[in-house]
Amino acid sequence: MDLTSRLRQLLPQKSNSPSIPRSTVDLDPFLGGRETPTPLGPCYVVTRELPLHHRHGKWPLSEVYQASFRSLDRLVPGSGDFALDQALFLDTETTGLAGGTGTYAFLVGLGYFTERRFVVKQILMRDYNEELALLHLVEQELAQKEIVVSFNGRVFDLPLLHTRFALARLGFQGAKNKAHYDLLPLARRLWRHKLASCSLASLEENILGVQRSGDIPGYEIPQRFFSFLQTGQGQLLQDIVEHNFLDIVSMAALLYRLGQVLQLEPNQCSCPYEAEALGRLAAQEQDLSSALAYLQRAADLAAHPELLLRILRQSAAILKRLGRHQQAAGLWQEILSRAPQDLHSAEELAKHYEHRAKDLPAARQIARRALALAWMERSPLAPAWEHRLNRIEGKLHSQGEAEEPCG
């Protein structure tokens, strides 16, 4: 057998069975949607409506609909006029998790509030030739709203849609000049220290009180869609559509919870991590007195030593900025009593004793302990501590020489 014949054997063999036209697959029994015609061909749309009394986790959707979102301005400047009736919640399911030109958004979920309902439209392409129709419907839905709300959409969903529109030679005007609220970085601002992960699943379980049962893992979704393309079995898409639906409803609940936490006064906080986050936020807003109040509340609620130490460090830094050096020194002393290895707090306390309190013996004692610890841990800070200790001892020696003639 020659080389050409051998290579020909390695090529995919044509199947004798005809390919399954996806448009003929009856998805209605599994998804409950309908085929929708567009100027660019048909695709499949699933529409579900939840009454506002429906509870998703800890709260009914009516609380989300009636809430004020002015507090979002603290995380997203300029959002004080956020209007929920102009918001479109967007989430995609894709053929890959890395993005790029070879990745398709085969399902786009879009959610929005009306006066009586939370409506979720899920636009599905049953095969690649329905992508243009899917993009056309997505564009139409986006054009009706002024705000896009997503979860990691700034990094993944919207760039992917931009790519798909560009490759299809369609203008992606629907998202142009719209306000975009990506809930992932906003959630991290409040809960990154509380949670090991700020994935939507983690936020659902730990913040929203949502418990999913039998949910498909995200990493399995692309292969499930490929299996549908090969077999035409509509039941393969059920879990994907349900997963996407729940993601969208959870985004609405998460937006509400973000807004509620941002409105809390210090004495209203029941979670030390949220109080700490609000303290950091107030400090960034230059409201240092409020920052201290939030951090004091966080310290009162803190049950874990590491959390308490982090709160004390932040409080001491703010007191220093306010010029309340004696109070700051008290916190640095407390920190060192709990964590003697904290060289940063030791440095701040040594500087306070040397330059402000003018208590050189106390400064020398701190410097000696810190230098010994730095040597023991082979810290790169050891030379700086040697220099500081030599300077302090030099000052003490000079003071001693100046005082001797008077003795």
Segment 220-252, tens digit of pLDDT: 999 999 999 999 999 999 999 999 999 999 999
SS3 for the chain is CCHHHHHHHHCCCCCCCCCCCHHHCCCHHHHCCEEEEECCEEEEEEEEEEECCCEECCEEHHHHHHCCCHHHHHCCCCCCCCCHHHEEEEEEEECCCCCCCCCCEEEEEEEEECCCEEEEEEEECCCHHHHHHHHHHHHHHHHCCCEEEECCHHHHHHHHHHHHHHHCCCCCCCCCCCEEEEHHHHHHHHHCCCCCCCCHHHHHHHHHCCCCCCCCCHHHHHHHHHHHHHHCCHHHHHHHHHHHHHHHHHHHHHHHHHHHHHCCCHHHCCCHHHHHHHHHHHHHCCCHHHHHHHHHHHHHHCCCHHHHHHHHHHHHHHHHHCCCHHHHHHHHHHHHHHCCCCHHHHHHHHHHHHHHCCCHHHHHHHHHHHHHHHHHCCCCCHHHHHHHHHHHHHHHHHHHHHHHHHC
pLDDT band at 155 (very low <50, low <70, confident <90, very high): very high
pLDDT of residue 22: 53
The whole-number average pLDDT for the span 292-307 is 97
Query: Average per-residue pLDDT in the chain?
Result: 91
Query: Is 5's pLDDT higher than 80?
Result: no
Q: Return the domain boundaries, the chain.
A: 16-262, 267-406
Query: Is the model's pLDDT at 176 over the cut of 90?
Result: no
Residues 243 and 221 sit within 8 Å (Cβ to Cβ): yes
Q: Please tell me the predicted confidence (pLDDT) of residue 237.
A: 98
Q: What is the pLDDT of residue 125?
A: 97
Number of other residues whose CB lies within 10 A of the CB of residue 359: 13
Q: Are strands 59-60 and 55-56 parallel, antiparallel or unpaired?
A: antiparallel
Query: Is the model's pLDDT at 171 over the cut of 80?
Result: no
Contact 187, 258 (CB under 8 A): yes
- Cβ proximity of 208 and 1 under 8 Å: no
Residue 10 has pLDDT above 60, yes or no: no
Q: What is the radius of gyration, based on Cα positions, of the chain?
A: 30
Superfamily designation of domain 16-262:
Ribonuclease H-like superfamily/Ribonuclease H (3.30.420.10)
Domains 16-262 and 267-406 agree in fold: no
Over residues 326-335, the mean pLDDT reads 98
The mean pLDDT value for 112-117 works out to 97
Rounded distance between C-alpha atoms, residue 314 and residue 270, angstroms: 19
User: Quick one: pLDDT band at residue 41, thresholds 50, 70, 90?
Assistant: very high
Structure confidence at residue 178 as a pLDDT band (50, 70, 90):
confident
pLDDT of residue 250: 98
pLDDT exceeds 90 at position 18: no
Q: What is the pLDDT of residues 23-34, one digit of tens each?
A: 568 999 999 999
Is the model's pLDDT at 16 over the cut of 60?
Answer: no
- Distance between CA atoms of residues 206 and 195, nearest Å: 8
- Please give the average per-residue pLDDT across 50-76, as a whole number: 95
Task: Please state which CATH class domain 267-406 belongs to.
Answer: mainly alpha
Higher pLDDT, 102 or 382: 382
Q: Which of 164-178, 260-274, 389-403 has the highest mean pLDDT?
A: 260-274
Per cent of the chain over pLDDT 70 is: 91
Query: Residue 3's pLDDT is what?
Result: 40
pTM (two decimals): 0.88
Structure tokens that stand for 307 in this block: 């959390």
Give the residue with greater pLDDT, 181 vs 400.
Answer: 181
pLDDT at 80 over 80: no
Asked if residue 72 has pLDDT above 70, the reply is: yes
Residue 141 tokens, joined: 């839905």
Residue type, 254: L
Of residues 81 and 353, more confidence is placed in 353
Query: Please, which pLDDT band fits residue 170 given cuts at 50, 70 and 90?
Result: confident
Integer CA distances (angstroms), 52 to 48, 56, 59, 246, in order? 13, 10, 10, 15
Average the pLDDT over 140-149 and give the result.
Answer: 94
